[in-house]
Structure formats: C-alpha cells, structure tokens
Structure 1
Amino acid sequence: MKLYKLLSFSFLLATLTSCTFTENIHVNDNGTGKFSVDIDGSALMAMAGDQIGQQMGAEAKKSIDTTFTFKKLFEEKKDSIAKLSPETQKELKKLENYVVNTKMNAEQKEFLMKISNDFKNVNELQDVLQALSAFQKLESAANATAPFGGGFGNNNSKLSFSYDGKKFSRKAVVNKKDAEKKQESEADMSKMIFASSNYILQYHFPKRIKKASNPNAVFSDDRKTITIQYPFTDYMENPDKLNFDVEFEK
C-alpha cells in the first residue's frame, strides 16, 4: 500500500468514532525530548473491522506495521504540493521530520498510529494535529469527500509550550475571528463524530511536580508524570480548556 493511501485511510479511520488521542511529551534534564501523538482506534476496529477489511481489499488480509517520515511521503506528492498555496506548503514543511508508525490488523481488531518527533527545545513544539490539517488540504484537493473538507485537527488556535526547569506551561490561544467563521453544521458534525473519543495529555518530566493548575490532573507515584483527560470535542471546540501550568519542586 502506498504511503499516501495508507495515511489517508488512517486519518479516515481516526475521524470515524471511538478513538483515543494521547499527546505525549518526554522532557529530559537539558530541555530536549520527544513529542508524539498516539491514536488508538482499536475500539472502532472491534466494531467494524470486517467492513474496514473489505474496503481495504486484499491488503487488509495481512497485518500492516510500517514506519516512514512525512518527508518521504511528500516526495511522492511533490507535484500536488506545488499547486497548494504558499501558506499551506509552509505548514506541510513543519511535518517533514515527523515519523509515522502505523499498525493495522483487521483480524486482531487493532489500529494504532504514532506521529512522533524529537525536539531540541520545548519552546519549539507545535500542535501536530493543527499541522495535519494542512495534509488534509492536500487530501481534499484530490478528494472532495475528505473528512471535514480538510479541517480535521484545525481548532482555530495557536498552541505554544514553555519550560525553564522551574515551570512548564501549555497554552492555546483561540483565534476568535476564525472560530466565529466556523459553521454550526461543522460543529454539530464534530460533536456527532467525536462524541465518544478522548484527548489525553500525558507529560513526563525529569523533576518532581510540586503543583499543577488543572484540578483534574493525575500524578504518577514519583510525581514526574502528569495525565489529564478531556473529551476530544474540547480539543476541537474549546482548545483553551486544555491549558495548564506546572511548577516543579526545587
């Protein structure tokens, strides 16, 4: 299966129902680390694995376990990318070094996708699902039935992170002007499709956490990992609800 076809099909699965999105950040002592978004759609495969297998044809009879970079995928679609706006091409450029691992097995009812990247500084992190909305524009240019018309992951906000060894913060600032343009029908579709999906923040730090601003935060036994769970509709419709600050022990 070609990389573009596989990734497009994976995103289609992710927009159907019953998926868990986990935003993982592992921060090292020197501020470097690893960022990933893990998508688990196994619940969907358990409900509709046979139908999905039929849609994928003969390729579904074998399990899929593949790893590739967006850079390699974009090489396949360079002609189509050249036709996109400069702004969209710039957004796609941000994805080049992200690694995608997809595991899919209709027989075992498994669908897992990890989109990851190493970072040199927490402050350089961005919202990968927002960036993926640019990929959806590439898909919708070739397919009028692309999920959300190319808007999957676009929650009309700008996400930033900061970390100085003493404090950590995650902050999404909503672009109210763009949010107001969002049609009610699209919002209703989002609620219907993602009603049973969750978005989990799971951050791992090199220091013990003294306190966190979110009252729903759950700490690991060593207080170096924080986990906060939201309905996926909060990520899409109220991204600033996911904002929080962490203060570390001295």
Structure 2
Amino acid sequence: MRLYKLLSFLFLIATLTSCTLTENIYISDNGTGKFSIDMDGSSLMAMAGDQLGDQMGDDLKKNVDSTFTFKQLFEEKKDSIAKLSPEAQKELKKLENFVVNTKMNAEKKVFLMTLSTDFKNVNELQDALQALSTLQKLESNGNPSAPFSGGLGDNNSELSYTYDGKKFTRKAVIDKQKLAAKAKDSSADMSKMIFASSNYIIKYHFPKRIKKVSNPSALFSEDRKSITIQYPFTDYMENPDKLNFEVEFEK
C-alpha cells in the first residue's frame, strides 16, 4: 500500500472517532530526549472495524504493522508539497525526522499509531499535531469547506517548550484571529461532538526529581521524576492554553 494512502486512512480513523492521544516527552541528563504522540483508536475498531474495511477496500482489510519516516512520505508527495505556501512547507519540514509506526488488526480490534522523533534540545520541539494538520490539508486539496480540512490538531495556537534544568514549561499561545474565523466554521460543531469523548494525556519524564507542578491535577510517579496529566481532547482543540503549565525541579 502506498504510504500516503495508508497515512490518510489512519488520519481518517483518528479524526472521525473518539480516541486517546498521549503526548510523551523523555528528557535525559544532557537535555536530549525523545518525543512521541500515541494515538489509540481501538474503540472504533471494536465498534466498526468490519464496516471500515468494507468501505476502504481490500488493502485496508489486511492487518497492518508498518514503520516509515515522513521523509519517505514527503518524497512520495513532493509535487503536491511544492505547490504549498512557503509557510506550509516550513510546517511540514518539522515532521521530516518523525517515524510513524502503525498497528491495525480488525480481527483483534486494534488500531495504534505512534509518531516519534529524537531531539537534541526540548526547546526545538513544536506541536506535532499542528504540523500534521498541514499534511491533512493536502488530502482536502486546500479546500477549507472539506470535512475536517482544518486537521486533527489545528487548534489555532503556537506551542513551545522550554527546559533549562531548573524549570520546564509547556506554553500554547492562541492566535485570536484564527480562533475567530474557526468560530464561524460550520464543521466546528461536528468536530466538537466527535472529540467530546476523546482524551489528551500528557506524560513527561525528567532526569531530576520534581519539586512542584503548576497544574494541581498532575499525578507523580513514585520517584517524582515523571508526571501524568489528563485533559478532555476538547480542551486541546478549543482552549489549548488550558494545557499550559510549569514544572520546577529539586536542587
């Protein structure tokens, strides 16, 4: 199966069903680390796996266990990408080093997709789902009225991370102009309904013991080096600044 066909189908599952998305960050002593987004859409496979296979053709009835890089995918779609604006191409460039691993089994009712990358400094990370939304727009041919053309992670914000050994921050700054335009989008209510039962979970792992976290809902690991925070996915999509928080570490 062509990479783009596979990825488009996986995005469709993730976009059209309630699923759990988990954002993982692992930071080592020297500041390098690993970032990943895990999407679990197994609930849809449990409810409608057979019907999806019928709709999507014989290729997608087969079990999938696939690993590829976005660099491979971009080579496949290079002509379409060349027609995008410089800003959109820059967004996609952020995904170039991401690896996509997918596991789909209709019989076992499993659908898992992980997007992961290594980083040299957490400050270089951006919102992977925002960049994915640019890729999804290729599928809609830039038509803003196409269903979910805004993309799975298009929450009209700019996300940044900082870490200096003493403090870690996760901060999303909302673009109010984009937010106002989205409020007029007729598909917004449909998206809200679909994502109402989805969750966005943050799991961050640090090389130092945590002194305190600005979010009172944070759960600590036994060694106080990891935190887990769960949000409704509607918060990520509609109020991304609710996911902002700071972590301070013990000396």
TM-score by length of 2: 0.95
In 2, the alpha carbon distance for the partners of 1:116 and 1:143 equals 29
Q: Which runs of 5+ in 2 are unaligned?
A: none
Structural mapping, 1:100-249, within 5 Å: 100-141=100-141, 147-182=147-182, 183=184, 185-249=186-250
CA–CA separation in structure 2 for the residues paired with 1:33 and 1:44:
32
Q: Return the offset for 1:146.
A: 5.5
Q: Is the 8 A contact 1:20 1:199 kept in 2?
A: yes
Do the aligned partners of 2:147 and 2:187 also contact (CA within 8 Å) in 1?
no
The code of the aligned residue for 1:235 comes to: Y
SS at match of 1:135: helix
Compute the displacement of 1:127 (Å).
0.3
Does the CA-based 8 Å contact 2:142-2:149 persist in structure 1? no
**Counterpart contact for 1:23–1:200, Cα < 8 Å:** yes
Contact 1:211 1:246 in 2 (8 A): yes
Q: Distance in 2 between matches of 1:134 and 1:21?
A: 18
| Count of matched residue positions in the alignment of Structure 1 and Structure 2 | 250
- Counterpart in 1 of 2:77? 77
Q: Percent of counterpart pairs with the same letter?
A: 77
Report the counterpart of residue 7 of structure 1 in structure 2: 7
For 1:45, the aligned partner's letter is: M
* Structure 1, unaligned runs of 5 or more: none
> Which 4+ residue blocks in structure 1 deviate beyond 4 angstroms?
142-147
Would you say the 8 A contact 1:140–1:150 is kept in 2? no
Give the secondary structure class of the aligned counterpart of 1:91.
Answer: helix
**Distance change >3 Å, CA 140–CA 29, structure 1 → 2:** same
Contact 1:157 1:172 in 2 (8 A): yes
Q: Is the 8 A contact 1:52 1:106 kept in 2?
A: no
Give the Cα–Cα distance (whole angstroms) in 1 for the partners of residues 73 and 192 of structure 2: 31
2:144·2:150 contact (CA, 8 Å) conserved in 1? no
